[in-house]
Every structure is written in structure tokens, then in C-alpha cells.
Amino acid sequence: MNQVMIDTGNYIAAKAAVMCKPDVVAAYPITPQTTLVEGIANYQGKGEFKGEYICVESEHSAMAACIGASATGVRTFTGTSSHGLLLMHEMLHWAALARLPVVMCNINRVVGPGWNIWTDENDSISQRDTGWIQFYCSSNQEIFDTIIQAFKIGEHQKVSLPVMISYNAFILSHTSMPVYVPDQKEIDAFLPKRKPLWYLDPNNPITFGNIILPAEYEKVRFDMQKSQYYCKKLIPEISKEWKEKFGRFHGDLLEYYKCENVEYILLSMGAIGAESKVAIDNLRKQGLKIGLARVRTFRPFPQEEILKLSKNADLIIIDRNISPGMEGAVFSEIKASLYGKSDAKVYGYIAGLGGKDVTFGDIEKMCKKAIDGKTKHLEWYGLEGV
């Protein structure tokens, strides 16, 4: 039976993590993630979390602790943000190449200097090539549901990859919303105990992570690619199973909103994706044939689904990130997905960097400008004085 819990995104994430019964949680504070690991510590203090809670000296050590624990075959969890995620960079590659299904929340925060604790996606987007599965959430309910699904996805025998759940600093991490929480027995039935493909055992010693020759290393990377592609099938299956058991659905690779019989599709991620629904409703009232496809998974990237959308509609993309010298990450990925396969026009915007608000009114203006043919290939929206 569902109970309603009203709390911030971070405390909701802590509740979800504890209900997954990880054996090890590695904790290091960084604003705006701190209250997530604090929440897990509170559950341990109340006797509701039975696993090991390891306080480490850095984010690099937090991921190293998760790697060591996961290599023994147990379930692990941690959280970080911004510079903490960047300090983990080496260990993120390590976890993925060792095929360890660590689950981690990253609370999207600006990378400095200048120092800023508000949100954009440059921290997690900069880790897109590490091999981690990446989810981007748009509500506290989605955070809760996705954490539990993430363990089932990452620990699947045909995947065995780490999973990152990203959500916006303060917009979600420190904002309270009502969330439906199932009974522990229901979670246990959905998420059984981890069955590792391999693990360290003193009574049955093996070698892993050692030196390998070029041909074998290429096979390692190819196998990781196959597992990412398998997730394009698995994520929709697990999302459907969650819907059938708990009655909630946030989309699978994409969340579609009013995408039937449209001439334009807006694509965005995270909290901008949620705000976009209001903009879509308003634009449709004005007679514009536009829908929304919110990108939930950046890795694996839903290129086949986006290609289908482009067959009958032009695409408008809003990125809350930037690759300096190029463009927004979603914009780049979509153009690559459509190359040689679609004649759809693609318009890109950079907006909301540094935590600057992107309201439904802003989203409406961007969409209208693109529809009116006044948008260049790529534009920055909301620069002061422009």
C-alpha cells in the first residue's frame, strides 16, 4: 500500500536508496548533495538502514569505496555533485570498465569558477563517455522511482553497468513534493538481492582489472557498448513493470507529451522538461501543433525514438549545458542521430546555465521564435542585455 511522503528531492532519494537495501553506502558531503547522505545517516541512526555507512575523505574515495564493495558482490550506493563528480572521474571509468553496478545520484550543479551552487548539467554531461547509464529526472516522484529501477537495470546480468541518476540542484534537491512510497515488501519483490556475474572471494581467487592486450581491450569496450544498447530494450521493460506494479510511469527512454499529429517536437531534460509541459499546453491553445519529448536517458541515447519523431516534425532542443567551442550536448546528439536519415529541421537553444530560471514563458518564446523561422541554427537564450 502506498504511503505519501512530503519531502525534498534529496531526502526522497535517501528514502529510495535505503529501501533498496544497499550493503554499503559511501558518504562525502558537497552542496547541494549533502542532505542526501545526511538522510541516509539519519535512517541508520534510527535503525532503518542496516548496511555499512562509510564516511570517506573525498569524492574520489567515495567511488573507490563503492568499487571495492561492489567487487565483493554486494549492492552499493553513493551521491555527489559538481566538483565532487569531477574528482571521481578516474573512478567512474574504473567502475564501468570493471562492470560494477554502482548506483549514484548526481545533483546537477554548476562547475566553477566562478563559484555558484545553482544548477546546470555540465557536471554530468562531462562524464557521458565513462560508460555509466545516465538518467535525468524531472520530479521527486521520478527520483524515487528511478533509483529503485536503476538497481534492477544496472544489476541485470546482460548489463552489469553503473547507473547515474541526475536531478537539478535546489529546483528538485531542496524542494518538497508529495511522493508515493510503496511498502518495503513490494520493493523487495520488485528488486531481489543482487546476483553478481563475478566477485572477489578469498576461497576462489581470480584476477581482474589487470593488464590486457589491445585486441582484448577493444572487446571490453565493445561489450560495454552492447550492454548500453541492450538497455534500450531493458529500460522500457522495467518502466512498464513498474507501471503495472505501482501505477506510475515517467516514460522510458523518452517521456512523450501530446506528440500525436504535431508539426514540431520540443526536446529537453530534467526540470526544464517538466516546465515544458505548461509551455506546450499554452502553445497548443494558441493553435500551434507542438508536442514534448522529454529526454530521460542521455546514455544510452534514444536515437531510434528521436529519428521516428523527426519523420513528421521539426525539432526544437533546449540544453542546460554547453560544450565550449561546439554546442549543447542534446543538440549535438540529436543531429548525429538524424544525419543522413531525416530531413527535419533542428533548432537549438542554450538556456538556464548557472541556475538561471527557465520559465514556461521563456520556453514558449523559444518555441515561437523557432516556429516563426527567426531562430538561427543555435542560439543562447536570456543573456543579459541581448
Assess if residue 385 is contained within a domain. Answer: no
**Quick check: 144 pLDDT over 60?**
yes
Mean pLDDT value across residues 268-283: 98
**Which domain range does residue 75 map to?**
3-246
Mean pLDDT value across residues 6-27: 98
pLDDT band (50, 70, 90) for residue 376: confident
Assess if residue 386 is contained within a domain. Answer: no
The answer for residues whose C-beta is within 8 angstroms of residue 128's C-beta and 6 or more apart is: 134, 298, 299, 329
Q: Residue 2's pLDDT is what?
A: 78
pLDDT band (50, 70, 90) for residue 375: confident
d(CA 363, CA 349): 10
Number of Cβ within a 10 Å radius of residue 266? 30
Nearest to 223 by CA among 281, 286, 176, 157: 157
Average predicted confidence (pLDDT) for the chain: 97
pLDDT band (50, 70, 90) for residue 146: very high
Q: In terms of DSSP H, where are the helices of 197-314?
A: 214-246, 270-285, 303-310
Same domain for 190 and 86, yes or no, is yes
Q: Residue 386's pLDDT is what?
A: 52
Main-chain dihedrals φ then ψ at residue 160, nearest 5 degrees: 50, 55
Assess if residue 365 is contained within a domain. Answer: yes
Look at residues 209, 224, 246 and tell me which one is the last residue of a structural domain: 246
Instruction: Check: CB of residue 236 under 8 Å from CB of residue 252.
Output: yes
Express as a percent the part of the chain with pLDDT over 90.
96
DSSP 3-state helix, strand, coil percentages of the chain (rounded to 5)? 40, 20, 40
Same domain for 234 and 322, yes or no, is no
Assess if residue 121 is contained within a domain. Answer: yes
The two beta strands, 264-269 and 314-319, are: parallel
Assess if residue 182 is contained within a domain. Answer: yes
Same domain for 230 and 258, yes or no, is no
Same domain for 191 and 329, yes or no, is no
Assess if residue 240 is contained within a domain. Answer: yes
Assess if residue 307 is contained within a domain. Answer: yes
Q: Which residues of 218-240 are buried (b: 16+ CB within 10 A; e: fewer)?
A: eeeeeebeebbebbbebbbebbe
Domain count, the chain: 2
Q: What is the CATH number of the domain that holds 293?
A: 3.40.50.920
pLDDT 10s digits, 313-367: 999 999 999 999 999 999 999 999 999 999 999 999 999 999 999 999 999 999 9
d(CA 380, CA 352): 9
Look at residues 214, 246, 278 and tell me which one is the last residue of a structural domain: 246
pLDDT 10s digits, 78-125: 999 999 999 999 999 999 999 999 999 999 999 999 999 999 999 999
Look at residues 246, 268, 302 and tell me which one is the last residue of a structural domain: 246
Same domain for 198 and 335, yes or no, is no
Same domain for 225 and 260, yes or no, is no
Looking at beta carbons, which pairs linking 47-53 to residues 24 or more positions away fall under 8 Å? 48/18, 49/18, 49/25, 50/21, 51/21, 51/22, 51/23, 51/24, 51/25, 52/23, 52/24, 52/25, 53/25, 53/27
